């Protein structure tokens, strides 16, 4: 609520709001949970100590200990799905713009958000195997999540982002009535 009350619709048009995915929590203050302290796995501690010792002995440079970036390809089916998602997003944006929807630009980065989340899901599902390939199920999951975030953001921004104090007060009254 505080985020949207500080924004006007220009934040959407200038690309500020469409660069992020906002995840809404319906509970403003969820119950606090006590979390115990977990000890790290012994093998992990051992590998880190070994790595640090090798650096100290001059066997490795610190830069050698850093992971190497990897390319994670998409399966042909996932690529086709991404093309369809991008085409659908373009059609949705055109329809919203022609209807005069001021928040239509929220959808401009849909494909980029889906691709990033699908990548994260793929790599986290398959761990350190290095045999990664983004599949259709990764794209489907990411697409559902991004669409949910954007639809919620659009709904919240429509009732909270205002271009003037008068509009903000009017929106507040309408929210109370609703």
Question: Between the ranges 15-24, 101-110, 138-147, 164-173, where is the mean pLDDT highest?
Answer: 138-147
Please, what sign has the CA dihedral across residues 85, 88, 94, 96?
negative
The pLDDT tens digits of the residues spanning 114-141 come to 999 999 999 988 876 677 899 999 999 9
Q: Does the pLDDT value for residue 73 go beyond 70?
A: yes
The pLDDT tens digits of the residues spanning 15-30 come to 777 788 888 776 677 7
What number is the average pLDDT over the span 1-23? 72
Distance of alpha carbon 16 from alpha carbon 26, whole angstroms: 23
Q: What is the pLDDT of residue 1?
A: 56
Distance of alpha carbon 55 from alpha carbon 64, whole angstroms: 9
Q: How far is CA 72 from the centre of its chain?
A: 18
- Residue 27 φ then ψ, to 5°: -90, 120
Q: Which residue has the higher pLDDT, 26 or 37?
A: 37
- What is the value of pTM for the model shown? 0.70
Give the start-end residues of each E strand in the chain.
none
């Amino acid at each position: 609520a505080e985020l949207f009350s500080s924004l006007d619709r220009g934040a959407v048009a200038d690309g500020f709001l469409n660069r992020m995915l906002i995840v809404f929590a319906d509970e403003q203050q969820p119950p606090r949970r006590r979390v115990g302290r977990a000890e790290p796995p012994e093998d992990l501690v051992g590998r880190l100590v070994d790595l640090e010792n090798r650096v100290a002995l001059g066997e490795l440079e610190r830069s050698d200990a850093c992971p190497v970036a990897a390319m994670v390809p998409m399966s042909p089916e996932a690529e086709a799905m991404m093309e369809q998602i991008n085409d659908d997003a373009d059609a949705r944006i055109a329809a919203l713009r022609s209807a005069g929807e001021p928040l239509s630009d929220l959808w401009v980065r849909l494909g980029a958000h889906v691709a990033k989340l699908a990548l994260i899901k793929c790599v986290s599902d398959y761990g350190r195997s290095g045999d990664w390939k983004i599949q259709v199920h990764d794209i489907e999951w990411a697409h559902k999540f991004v669409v949910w975030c954007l639809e919620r953001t659009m709904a919240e921004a429509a009732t909270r982002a205002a271009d003037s104090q008068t509009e903000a007060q009017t929106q507040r009254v309408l929210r109370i009535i609703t």
